[in-house]
A and B are shown apart, each in its own frame.
Chain A
Amino acid sequence: MPRIRVEVDGATYEDEVEPRLLLVHYLRERLGKVGTPVGCDTTNCGACTVLLDGLSAKSCSVLAVQADGRSVTTVEGLAPDGDEHPLQRSFHREHALQCGYCTPGMIMASADLLRENPDPSEDEVREGLEGNLCRCTGYQNIVRAVRSAAAEMRGSEVAS
């Protein structure tokens, strides 16, 4: 079995894994990082989105072996210990989640979006999150939360 070395949320792990082990199952079942859930089999829902070397990736469609030597950030490691990322705060503030199952992936995809575009328009947020499905919110408050976090991260208030 291949041996992999992966940095996840700031800690380094070494494991022997079956080649077919999905990254999301490695995170959940081997590392106990269950903050990243699985919602589909076809890369459609985005619930399992993490950052792989800083770029969003659907961890259900990446093999753990492919993450060898790379760094993974999950929703659990998005903010420094005990703190919350502006997106985590804005999702709460703007009521951008209900059941919360899509939320980890939605937040990670949003973090990626804001890395590329620190001041996205409403349409840009909607398009940027096209790979993440939510069944509860109708997305409106998610869009609002992402723009609100963007404003906070830019250090100014968003014009509504």
Chain B
Amino acid sequence: MIPPTFDYLRPTTLDEALRMLPDAGEDAKVLAGGQSLMPLLRLRLAYPDALVDLDRVDELRAIRDDGDAIVIGATATHHQVMHDPLVREHAPLVARATATVADPAVRHRGTFGGSLAHADPAGDLPAVALALDAVMLARSASGGDREIPARDFFVDWMTTALEPDELLTGVRVPKLGAGWGFHYEKFHRTAQAWAIVGVACAVRRVQGAVEDVRIGLTNMGATPVRATAVEERLGGSTLSDGTLREASAYAGEGTEPPSDLHGSSEYRSHLVQVLTRRALNAASAR
């Protein structure tokens, strides 16, 4: 199919992009890698007035060290993120989950920030951002800079807290220091299918006991969600098989998983328990 017509704006600096965005109209869309947007356009499920293409805004691509965190530029590609030494060292969960996104060609174009701003609950990275307590860095021409914690960022199905004139410029991901284990457990029917359920987790243990644990769930509701009931139950535990099994049984608590072509709500509620246990197992084995 053929995309509908739209105006095309191609800023080369962030300031230019921020100036263009309000002028581009209410139905303007930001084009990052386009790997989610282009199919929507081709199927004519979206009719933006204009696309503001961030492809040439080089300053948004960088991945940099920021003390106790790293900042991943919004338009860093998945391919770049997967291979970036800072990400691999300090946010290995991001690297690992990113490697499961789509396929190599899509990962060459698709961007980290684009995936988060797209806010598809079936996407792999929102749950990861949530699990890692990442902070979204937003900027607008009118309101300046804003920091939005991941838990406040994902508002509803494919809806974020970003204002229409606001751009996601980067994502601050706290560094995982020594003692952290992590894993992303993705369950899908075929390699290129969306996750039916995914579980992102990071665990820090001190002398065998859980000091900190974060679990983000993919496709268990209209937004990515944290499995807080499991997190609470695991604090201080030693992650024995019994504890894991017991705690993981609460993974679906408070979630409202969808029913769709690839899985019923009931099945997802079951799967999330199994996958949470497996993810934690894998994380604690690291």
Contacts and interface: CB of A to CB of B under 8 A. Distances in A.
Chain A–chain B contact at Cβ < 8 A: yes
Interface of A: 2, 18-20, 22, 41-44, 46, 49, 52, 55-58, 60-63, 65-66, 109, 112-113, 116, 127-128, 130-132
B204 interface: no
B108 A57 contact: yes
Contacts of B3: 20, 22
20 contacts: A2-B8, A19-B6, A19-B8, A41-B1, A42-B42, A43-B35, A55-B105, A56-B104, A56-B108, A61-B38, A63-B38, A109-B104, A113-B104, A116-B104, A128-B104, A130-B103, A130-B192, A131-B106, A131-B192, A132-B103
B43 to A, nearest CB: 6
Secondary structure of the A side of the interface? mixed
Interface in B1-37: 1-8, 10, 34-35
Nearest to A46: B105
Contacts, number: 90
A41 B42 contact: yes
Interface footprint category on B: 20 to 34
Contact of B34 (A42, A66, A131): A66
Given A43-B35, A66-B55, A61 B109 contact: yes
A112 B104 contact: yes
Highest count of chain B CB atoms <10 Å: which of A19, A116, A128? A19
B61 to A, nearest CB: 14
B191 A58 contact: no
B192 A44 contact: yes
B51 interface: yes
B39 interface: yes
A57 B192 contact: no
A22 B2 CA distance: 8
A103 B191 CA distance: 20
A29 B36 CA distance: 24
Nearest to A19: B8
Contacts of A2: 8, 10
